[in-house]
Chain A
Amino acid sequence: DADVTQTPRNRITKTGKRIMLECSQTKGHDRMYWYRQDPGLGLQLIYYSFDVKDINKGEISDGYSVSRQAQAKFSLSLESAIPNQTALYFCATSVGGARTDTQYFGPGTRLTVL
């Protein structure tokens, strides 16, 4: 969805490096999410934020941190990247207010940690 953008789209880095993945949205949604996708494992939630002051851990938050700089921006950091963090990372947004929100995904960032 063009309203949700992610940078970079591809990144190759080395073990131990600090990496930041950025997500921006123009949908005006309050809620933002970071997911990780590995082949055959579906989408696993890393962190989610329901507004700028509300950040929560997901099911696989170890080794990751996030920052919600504004309603429209949600960044994911890998403080010290390791090879098993090689994966496809998706940012998503939802409008809020409903019992369960439809999620709108960005195009993804393919991260390789050597």
Chain B
Amino acid sequence: SQKIEQNSEALNIQEGKTATLTCNYTNYSPAYLQWYRQDPGRGPVFLLLIRENEKEKRKERLKVTFDTTLKQSLFHITASQPADSATYLCALDPGSLTYKYIFGTGTRLKVLA
């Protein structure tokens, strides 16, 4: 069956360290993969998009990698801060012209001061 898994439901790390979140998928061949951040009581907010022909994308302290062979995306937050504490969701499109995204269940990140 088709599914997306994010490595862990919750992840605690110390401030200043690098947080690494994993998104694995099976039975999809997505052209794009996105990462969103969701804070309690709010809707998800877009962070980064990476295409299948891109290995890596960066934005400030954020970095995303996309390995279509492993069917995996890694999301890194360097020099993490308590303000980075949130739930992070990966989302992929199951194919062109499908007009929808499939979301992972999310990883709840807590950065400890």
Decide whether A and B are members of one complex: no
